[in-house]
Amino acid sequence: MKALTFYQPHASLVALGGKKIETRSWYTSYRGPLAIHAAKISPQKYLALIFEWPFYEILFPNGYHPFFIPVGCIIAKGELVDCVKITTENIPDEPERSFGDYTPGRFAWRLEKVIPQDPIVYGVRGHQGLWEWRE
């Protein structure tokens, strides 16, 4: 199965269904099943987002905070259904807009049918780009 590594708290937002679009600087033609991998290490600037709106409203009621957030593991599975170039006309409304970098010219990867998983196999090492994960 293809996998994609996300920094936290973005991985948890995807797993909880709060983030449905991932923004990347590159295009992919891949469509299909996707494992959501929480990076082992996330920059502090991203972890600090947990305390800000709209991250807080989704994460805290579901038990996520900086001292309890899964890392280095697969936390969800879903489908990558589309990848489109971001323009000024297709930037989403809030709260989705706060969860990505919607600079025109980047790419929006649309995720659907995401199902959270109990953290699978702690210590899974992530990779840049799409990578193969064997369950």
Whether residue 22 is predicted with pLDDT greater than 70 in this model: the reply is: yes
- Model pLDDT, residue 135: 76
Per-residue pLDDT reduced to its tens digit, 75-108? 999 999 999 999 999 999 999 999 999 999 999 9
Q: Is the entire prediction scored with pTM above 0.85?
A: yes
Query: pLDDT digit string (tens) for 49-84?
Result: 888 899 999 988 887 776 778 889 999 999 999 999
Q: Categorize the per-residue pLDDT at 43 as very low, low, confident or very high, splitting at 50, 70 and 90.
A: confident
SS3 content of the chain, % helix, strand, coil (to 5): 20, 35, 45
